[in-house]
Structure 1
Amino acid sequence: MKTKCNTFLILCTLILFQWGCAEEKTFEANKNLNGEEQVVTSLPEGTTAYYVSTSGSDSNDGLSASTPFKTLSKAAGMITGEGDAILLNRGDQWSGESIRLSGKQGTPENPVTIAAYGSGPKPVIKDNSDAAIFIANSSGYVIEDLQIDDNGNGITLIYPFRNGREYVRIRNCDFNGGGTCVKITGDYQRDVTTAFEYNIKDILIEGCTSTGSEVFLNCMYFNTLKQIDFETYPIWDLKIANCEITSTVKTAMLPRWTKGGYIDNCTLLDIYTGEAENGSCAILLRRTRDFEVKNTEVGYVHRNAPNGPDGEAIDFEGHVVECTVSNCYMHHCDGPAMMFFYTLNQNGPVKYNKRNYVLNNTFHHNNQSAHHPEDCEIWISDPLRDPNGPTIISGNTYTRVPGVSFYLLRPNVTPNITFSNNMEVTDAGPYEWKFDGSTSGIPAEGSHNDVVSITRYDTYVQLELDTTKDDGPPAFALDDTHHKGLNTGLNIDAASNPKIYMKIRNNTSGRKLKVYWAHQLEDEYSNSNSKDMNIVSNGSEYSTYVLDLSKENSWTGTIDKMKLVWADMSKGSGTVDIDNIKIAP
């Protein structure tokens, strides 16, 4: 693609590109230091873009891919505001360097942009003791197409009191390890004569992944926010969509102090792997109004607090008003899938949850470690006192662990709540290999790559990987061609079982696991029948991962063999323990 296009192509590009409205991206060509054509995000006319590459120099002008800066701080120092951009070279890594911007204002039409250019893997910012990207007191930002590894925090947004800032977009970023991926914080004090009603509104976090981080999203306590003023919300219109969160050390999402917005089409699995001080959950709502959690999967939330009652998928933790949980799949949590609770110690009158809605969800085998009286899918310890209308729980289906009820009321609680049209269903019977003697384990073992040994223990199988053994990345086949004559395929009905769950402990440097499948034992594996997932590297504990293949066109018919590949492991060795593999609805 050439830098200068003819008039027709320019008109097409202008029509397609509507920044902040349709939010589409177009691309233009540039050349890097080696003269290779590079693809970069197309920015509005008049934008000044500063390029950064680890092979560049801070004595360059930074205005093209052929004259990039070397350091992130140099590029950040050039940003003045509306329409400026920092573009990081794909394939490069910055260790101990960060981007810090304060008071640099963009707009939805001409944001300040931090993104990538070039070809290859996403650029990486890693190993900062504080935030990799720090934005303070600023409107109008787009941050996208980055990998952020092992930082104290990933992206910090801070809004001092009486700001009234708007519009942040964080898209297609991968967070591995480290502290909080996206932290929103600041100070707030309502002053009806001079203050804005909100500190920040219109935030969208979309298409991001997090693996092994402490927390994905944390709306921190606003220091000057008076607890007695329960109608003040510093954050308006907070949206999280199409994100995949795996193996957080603590609660995955805390959309607190928020009015309006949603969590939509996200996956949160293996949540709160660390020890909880008070309680544990995947999504904590507190002082949240007009917010939705919808079309989202939450599973394997741990209960690591000694004698704690928690371990929920979603916790209504006080003054949650007119919020909705709908069309979600909540499963295999250590505690109840949901809890309605109220907080007693917020320096003011008790504030109950009011007029919330739990509609058309699927509850499956929650309260896995039920050792409390609260053995249920939904625990209600809140009186839900509201003369203006009930909390409604309706249209849900549930599959219970034996001895666990659908809902349970705390003694002496008679809440304003209605139940209707909720239905119990029976187990669907997934394809599952537990490696504990109850099943045969892996049905057949085919050709392996870089696997030195396979050791079967009482409850798991251990693979010893060594990249020097064979060409290519390590691979482990669940079934393969040397069983053709026995016709021992997996015989999986793909349409009825679109999700693959794996509980593994990955004590290798690999962070990418690629799953291949084939329909016949004779078929060759191909990239068209595969999907990648992020995994925790050098892990000391098990993590549970899920691949949703329901939108993969090639996941169809009967699946007869599969293979796991540590796709990014080009050197080194280590062990992988597989506790459980399940292919299920």
Structure 2
Amino acid sequence: MLTILVLKNNGLKMLINNTKRIIDFLMTKAISMKKNNFSNLCIYALFGLMFTSCSKNFQKEAMPRKELSVVNQTTVAIRTFYVSSSTGNDTNDGLSTSSPWKTFKKVSSMTYLPGDAILFKAGDTWSSDNDTTLLRPKGSGSATNPIVIDKYGSGANPVFSLTRYPNSSGGVYGVVMMGNQSYWQINNLSINANNATVLNTLTQNNTTQASIAGIYFKNTNSTVQSNISISNCSVKSTSINGQLYTQAILGIGFEGAYNNVVVDGCTVDSCLAGIHSNVNLHFINPSSSSYQSSNITFKNNLLRGVWGNGIVIGSITNGLIDHNRVIGTSCGNGACIWLTGSKNSVVQYNEVSDQKNGSQDGLAFDDDDDEGTSNGDIFQYNYSHNNSHGFIMFMPSVQNVIVRFNISVNDGWSTGTTSRLLAFSPTGNNSGVSIYNNVFYTGQGITTRVIGTYGGSGSGWALNMYNNIFYVDGGTISAFSESALNQNSQFKNNCYFPSNKFTSASNYFTTQTNVITSDPLFKGEAAIGSSFGTNIISTSTNTIDFSKAITNFALQSSSPCINTGYNVTGNSAVYDFANNNIVGQTPNIGAIWTTNGTTSTYYTIKNRNTGEYLNLQNNIGKVECTQISPDSTSAQWYEELHNGYTRFKNKKTGQYMEEQNNLAYEEYNFLIGSDQWSCDYSLVANGSYTRLQNRYTNKIVNNQNNYGYAQATASLPIGYWSGDWTIETH
């Protein structure tokens, strides 16, 4: 039975709003429900309307968001508050688009309840010059009902502009800021931010000065805060009168212990730092051993012109930095994408380019120990090009890190100590670091070293390098290694071409096994010729596009690197750089393998209620459920069996349907680990149809509300067709 719960207040306006809300809801549900279920729903809904109309004590509220599920459960009415700088007034009740609030001050004076929404009018701007007014709404949502900040109406995202924040006291302050709060979703905001005066030197760490950020979450207590989602937001800053340190200190940041955080599809332009969690650098507040966080995901974000550190996660277990584009970042002493104090985190499918300047750091990637020892991290499937200080750095206490199936083009073109592809600390032995199946291309006019240090000279590094291709196309290798390598190092089945460029370089490691010295025969050589690596780089691209790298760095059929690789012990990779399934294949050398050519059977997944197919046609961040031709590769899925469960891998993208973040819809992503439960589904028979139940969340995949994407619901009665699917061979 459906029950609608309401609280206190009264009036004819409430009755009218409730009536309209019930009618709108019934019209929506009529599309996707069987006739008998819809009739029952009408009876229950009319009962709810009578209840709310006759009650002596009920709360004034706005129309619920359509995500509100009302099938076979008790539902708390959700309040929606509207805010408009152009038509609002803080004396309004804020409960409709015709009576919105106006200011941040009014919004921040309220404590919000689980399920509330705060919507800002599309196209409006909230601007402030030399003001401390920040958006600080109070309260926390719940696991089933987060509090949402979003926009209403059509048009551009609402703009929050704080151009001269007076940085007089210590700390980082966000234009949007939350303290000790959980279960919030922030979507579709555009933020402009600057400091009013020049910040002090980088060693200041905000102990005496304040600085402004775009969106900032701060947890100061011992309770881990959780379930924060930020999507489709932008943060932009510019220097005032050309003064560098007047820029916003940070685009998006988290300070303190958090669990289940997702920053997805956001843009950060020209801030001093990009997207961070718990990093004690560049004015960000000092980290602490009590800040241990888990399951933080930064994905599908774009960073441009960030002066310092780009994307960083510190004090973290199971972090994920995935499918981000980072351009012209880390001009100071930082790195573009890095981990610190990390356990079992993954950095994958990112494109990083055009880093320049800085001092000792400044590489595309870094695994660091500022916040404690990093152990068990994986850097895979990344594309790095034209980064002056090199591809990746390892600090002293980093252990058991894997770097595999990446492509580096024209990195390490700087001079002096920063001219290197791979950088290691001069102290420490980086125990267990394995670098295998990567491609390093060095083009015309570039002089670099294969292995260098982070300041000073280093010696005694014991490295494990297998199946890599080092290709010099008109460039120069000034040294194989800055210092002599430990003889316990393992170099097996690597390809060096032309070989004399490496063997004649200083500190060449002579104790190598199965060296390939002939041309690896990339496909780009045949198609373009000399300097083909330079020709595939597009520095102006703002979105990730690996297609040129895949086309040019795949191996020709006569390559000496096919089927001649070393079988790396413990290699858990399922795919190569081009997303070819390499399980059971004879190892190749390089990042893109030539597989045995076996064909796979693909399936379509069709909903019983609507006849629509699950697909990844438009890359919207959710598995779509729409009317689409079953001939489209985006609607075709490969089934993989895993420990008695089934995984669905999309033919077009190679991504898996999954529920990693336990949201209300089906997600998709590339496989992170071989035993990732969020990708596993039980196929439950329901007559001649099949239900899909996720192993990790136990949720049922369905199309109950016909949103255009597949929902994930904790329970769905057997009689509801929206949870029934036909899985057919295509």
Fold match, TM over 0.5?
yes
Counterpart CA distance in 1 for 2:353 and 2:231 is 24
Counterpart CA distance in 2 for 1:14 and 1:204 is 33
Superposition map of 1:255-294 within 5 A: 255-273=313-331, 276=332, 279-294=333-348
The answer to whether residue 177 in structure 2 is matched with residue 117 in structure 1 is no
The equivalent residue for 1:406 is 450
* Superposed CA offset, 1:499-554 (max 9, x none): 74249xxxxxxxx99xxxxxxxxxxxxxxxxxxxxxxxxxxxxxxxxxxxx99xxx
Asked whether the 8 Å contact 2:234–2:268 carries over to 1, the reply is yes
The equivalent residue for 2:191 is 148
* Superposed CA offset, 1:93-143 (max 9, x none): 0012531034x1212321111110000000011116242111001110000
Distance 1:41 1:363, change over 3 A: farther
The equivalent residue for 1:7 is 26
Superposition map of 1:89-238 within 5 A: 89-96=121-128, 97-102=133-138, 104-127=139-162, 129=165, 130-151=173-194, 152-177=212-237, 178-186=248-256, 199-220=257-278, 234-238=292-296
The equivalent residue for 1:417 is 463
Asked whether the 8 Å contact 2:403–2:434 carries over to 1, the reply is yes
Counterpart CA distance in 2 for 1:337 and 1:8 is 56
* Superposed CA offset, 1:253-299 (max 9, x none): 221111112110000010134xx3xx232123221111111000111
* Superposed CA offset, 1:444-481 (max 9, x none): xxxxxxxxxxxxxxxxxxxxxxxxxxxxxxxxxxxxxx
Q: Which runs of 5 or more residues in structure 2 are unaligned?
A: 1-19, 35-62, 69-74, 166-172, 195-211, 238-247, 475-533, 544-617, 620-730
Give 2:24's aligned amino acid. C
Counterpart CA distance in 2 for 1:260 and 1:287 is 11
Give 2:224's aligned amino acid. G
Asked whether the 8 Å contact 1:384–1:391 carries over to 2, the reply is no
Asked whether the 8 Å contact 1:51–1:68 carries over to 2, the reply is yes
Asked whether the 8 Å contact 1:62–1:75 carries over to 2, the reply is no
Distance 1:224 1:420, change over 3 A: closer
The answer to whether residue 438 in structure 2 is matched with residue 393 in structure 1 is no
The answer to whether residue 51 in structure 2 is matched with residue 51 in structure 1 is no
The equivalent residue for 1:375 is 419
Structure with the greater alpha carbon radius of gyration: 2
Match 2:305 to one of 243, 247, 260 = 247
Counterpart CA distance in 1 for 2:236 and 2:286 is 32
Match 2:101 to one of 69, 78, 99 = 69
Give 2:269's aligned amino acid. T
The answer to whether residue 399 in structure 2 is matched with residue 354 in structure 1 is yes
> What percentage of aligned pairs have identical amino acids?
21
Q: Please state whether the residue corresponding to 2:106 is helix, strand or coil.
A: helix
Higher helix share: 2
Deviation at 1:69, TM superposition (A): 0.7
Asked whether the 8 Å contact 1:72–1:99 carries over to 2, the reply is yes
Asked whether the 8 Å contact 2:175–2:193 carries over to 1, the reply is no
The equivalent residue for 1:501 is 539
* Superposed CA offset, 1:322-351 (max 9, x none): 111101011111212111123xxxxxxxxx
The equivalent residue for 2:364 is 313
Counterpart CA distance in 1 for 2:537 and 2:184 is 35
Counterpart CA distance in 2 for 1:91 and 1:500 is 33
Q: Please state whether the residue corresponding to 2:109 is helix, strand or coil.
A: helix
The equivalent residue for 2:593 is none
Counterpart CA distance in 1 for 2:401 and 2:216 is 30
Distance 1:13 1:125, change over 3 A: farther
Q: Please state whether the residue corresponding to 2:336 is helix, strand or coil.
A: strand
The equivalent residue for 2:110 is 78
The equivalent residue for 1:33 is none
Give 1:377's aligned amino acid. L
Q: Please state whether the residue corresponding to 1:87 is helix, strand or coil.
A: strand
Give 2:104's aligned amino acid. L
Distance 1:376 1:412, change over 3 A: closer
Q: Which runs of 5 or more residues in structure 1 are unaligned?
A: 16-38, 187-198, 343-351, 429-495, 504-511, 514-549, 552-585
Give 1:176's aligned amino acid. K
Higher strand share: 1
Distance 1:146 1:237, change over 3 A: same
Asked whether the 8 Å contact 1:280–1:302 carries over to 2, the reply is no
Distance 1:218 1:146, change over 3 A: same
Distance 1:265 1:362, change over 3 A: same
Distance 1:315 1:12, change over 3 A: farther
Deviation at 1:403, TM superposition (A): 3.1
Asked whether the 8 Å contact 1:101–1:135 carries over to 2, the reply is yes
Asked whether the 8 Å contact 2:427–2:458 carries over to 1, the reply is no
Q: Please state whether the residue corresponding to 1:74 is helix, strand or coil.
A: helix
Report 1 or 2 for greater relative contact order, CA contacts < 8 Å, sequence distance ≥ 6.
1
Asked whether the 8 Å contact 1:310–1:336 carries over to 2, the reply is no
Counterpart CA distance in 1 for 2:294 and 2:249 is 24
The TM-score, its normalising length taken from structure 2, stands at 0.48
Counterpart CA distance in 1 for 2:412 and 2:96 is 56
The TM-score, its normalising length taken from structure 1, stands at 0.60
Asked whether the 8 Å contact 1:381–1:413 carries over to 2, the reply is no
Distance 1:53 1:216, change over 3 A: same
Q: Please state whether the residue corresponding to 2:216 is helix, strand or coil.
A: strand
